[in-house]
Amino acid sequence: MYLIAGLGNPSKQYENTRHNTGFMAVDFLVEKLGLPKFQLKEKFKSEISMAEYDGKKIIVAKPQTYMNNSGSAVQALQNYFKIQPENLIVVYDELDLPLGEIRVHQEGSSAGHNGIKSIITYISTDKFNRVRIGIRNKNAEKVPAEKFVLSKLSFFEKRKMKKEILPQVMGEILKLISG
């Protein structure tokens, strides 16, 4: 069984912000694979979609705990479904990478990302899969990081996200599941 957690912040005000790139990625995945619509599950502090893909059970989650406390939702899902850390895939925005660059890692530090820091703290390991999606553009250095990540994607960035970036992210996730 695999847990794919897309990180972001719940509520309308954060829709289409750079910090919600993880939510965008799992929304895209669920839509393109024709998985069941997300449903809020309070006991998991998440919206989840469960299905079978390529003969494997998958849970796709959007923690509703806000980015900085993502670990509590991931831990609740991991414990209940007995997901091994190597079968956890976390998808999130990465300010240190240019828009559209994607990096996949199996372990490592949080690199200052508060959502990842929270997950490492709650599940007591850094040995899980990460799909990092670059969000940096030429304006990133002009504003404080906190303000930049919470700003909305431009029309052109949204289009690039849907047409180019999210399909690539989906491919990386499916590679991790298929082994």
Known binding-site residue numbers for tRNA = 14, 66, 68, 114
- Structural domain total, the chain: 1
Please count the CA atoms within 13 angstroms of the CA of 141 that sit on its side-chain side: 3
**Given this model, what pLDDT does residue 179 score?**
76
| CATH assignment of the domain containing 129 | 3.40.50.1470
pLDDT in tens, 117-154: 999 999 999 999 999 999 999 888 899 999 999 999 99
Structure tokens at 126: 């850094």
- The model carries a pTM of 0.96
pLDDT in tens, 149-176: 999 999 999 999 999 999 999 999 999 9
Known binding-site residue numbers = 14, 66, 68, 114
Q: What is the mean pLDDT of residues 53-68?
A: 96
CA distance 157 to 153: 6
113 is catalytic: no
**Given this model, what pLDDT does residue 139 score?**
87
**Given this model, what pLDDT does residue 149 score?**
95
Give percent above pLDDT 70 in the chain: 100
Q: Which domain holds residue 111?
A: 2-178
- pLDDT-derived band of residue 112, with 50, 70 and 90 as boundaries? confident
Active-site residue, from 2, 4, 8, 19? 19
